[in-house]
Structure 1
């Protein structure tokens, strides 16, 4: 396994996390369309990182020995964290929508 693959996973997982947090910021500002765009880009970045990971796994399954380094473990951690945070942020954005809807209803009822 080359360091290029490892850094590809780290780079794209980091990009995914940044997009997810940008989505959350947009949602908190009330711009849910912008938030949705960031989530799409986060998912695309996760896809790139995941393909690099899957290629490595497939090569090992085909019998090509893969050297598992601490740097590779670090890359795996970045990807797992990016996926988990993106999923959590997706739920947080839905909660933000609900909170804004309920606040608007409450204000209208006053």
Structure 2
């Protein structure tokens, strides 16, 4: 089957989900820095939810590929995947930073 262009809507959803996840992870760090750990954990959960959105978009594309509908990779697709991978890394790091702030706060009590 012939290659087709990746759906721009899917690509943009990957970029948005990755950006939103990273923003929520940043907000989690800022909340933890202020000592608001409930908010920090809520923001980490929000980041996780955005990552689920990205995962679902990726799964859609992988399913299409597995069905023989090959998608031509272009620079916009690479950029979208970069956003997602960056968000995954940042989310993981944000979780560790929140945990560190919690430990410091407990030791200061």
Instruction: Provide the TM-score with structure 1 as the length reference.
Output: 0.91
1:63 maps to what in 2? 68
Give, in whole Å, the separation in 1 of the partners of 2:20 and 2:42: 14
**How far 1:58 moved relative to its partner?**
1.3
**Whole-angstrom CA distance in 1 between matches of 2:102 and 2:43:** 16
Task: Determine whether 1:72 maps to 2:77.
Answer: yes
Q: Post-superposition shift, 1:103?
A: 2.2
For the residues of structure 2 that align with 1:31 and 1:45, how far apart are their CA atoms? 21
Residue in 1 aligned with 2:56?
51
- State the Cα distance separating 1:50 from its structure 2 match: 1.1
TM-score by length of 2: 0.92
Matched, 1:9 2:18: no
Correspondence for 1:37: 42
Q: Which of the two has greater helix per residue? A: 1
Output the aligned Cα RMSD. Answer: 0.7
Distance 1:22 1:51 in 2: 23
Asked whether 1:102 is paired with 2:107, we answer yes
Structure 1 stretches of 4+ moved >2 Å = none
2 CA distance for matches of 1:34 and 1:95? 15
Larger radius of gyration: 1
Structure 1 distance, partners of 2:32, 2:79, is 30
How many residues are aligned here? Answer: 104
Matched with 1:86 is 91
